[in-house]
Chains A and B, each alone.
Chain A
Amino acid sequence: EIVLTQSPDTLSLSPGERATLSCRASQTVASNCLAWFQQKPGQAPRLLIYGASNRATDIPDRFSGSASGTDFTLTISRLEPEDFAVYYCQQYSKSPGTFGQGTKVEIK
């Protein structure tokens, strides 16, 4: 099983600041099959990034993803009020399709 470890658990930032979220895999994620999801309270997750660096449909370009070996990063260049939420990474290269524990981005 591929274990995904996200850091930090909580990120306290102000609107307009840059957010950098990390997801580290315990082993190679084949073909960079790594996605990022955003979840707001009471809502289903929403796909942001797939293939480590590809934005999903209708996702603003302030969201970007990158990969370096087993380290994956989600960057939000300038936080908008609607971006404060919990973010999860997930690998879909192997079964089970594991998720990270989540990073909460909260308003400072």
Chain B
Amino acid sequence: EVQLVESGGGLVQPGRSLRLSCTTSGFTFGDYAVNWVRQAPGQGLEWVGFIRYKGYGGTTEYAASVEGRFTISRDDSKGIADLQMNSLKTEDTAVYYCGRARNYGHIGLIDYWGQGTLVTVSS
């Protein structure tokens, strides 16, 4: 069974950092890209960024709203993808989802999602 579990969310002050992890099982992690998507309270879905699988260079791309502050990395040996979030702003408050992405299109097609982890940025 394909599973993705996000962890690391919580309450953090503006300007501080937080690191989220996406722990996976049930599939060969190294064969897939990983996307991160967030959802502010009561709002729609916002794409955050993605990391390609190593066969495509393992490179990353980000939404303009997080470029330069957020970094996605992956450890294929552990089946984990991380989202390092620096210089957090109140508008980063959201549930953060990771998604397994098939290598279709440019950023990949998300076919499985984690259950999400809530990040609250507030003083």
Chain A residues engaging chain B, CB cutoff 8 angstroms: 30-31, 33, 35, 37, 39, 43-47, 50-51, 56, 88, 90-102
Contact = CB atoms under 8 A, between A and B. Distances in A.
Contacts, number: 75
The 10 closest A-B CB pairs, nearest first, are A33-B105, A92-B105, A44-B113, A97-B47, A97-B107, A95-B61, A99-B45, A102-B44, A93-B105, A96-B63
A35 B44 contact: no
B106 A44 contact: no
Contacts of B108: 92
Interface residues of B, number: 26
Given A30-B105, A33-B105, A88-B44, 7 more contacts: A33-B104, A44-B116, A51-B104, A90-B45, A92-B105, A95-B107, A97-B50
A90 B106 CA distance: 12
A100 B47 CA distance: 11
Interface string B43-62: 01111001000000000011
Nearest to A46: B113
Given A90-B45, A99-B44, A35 B109 contact: yes
A92 B64 contact: no
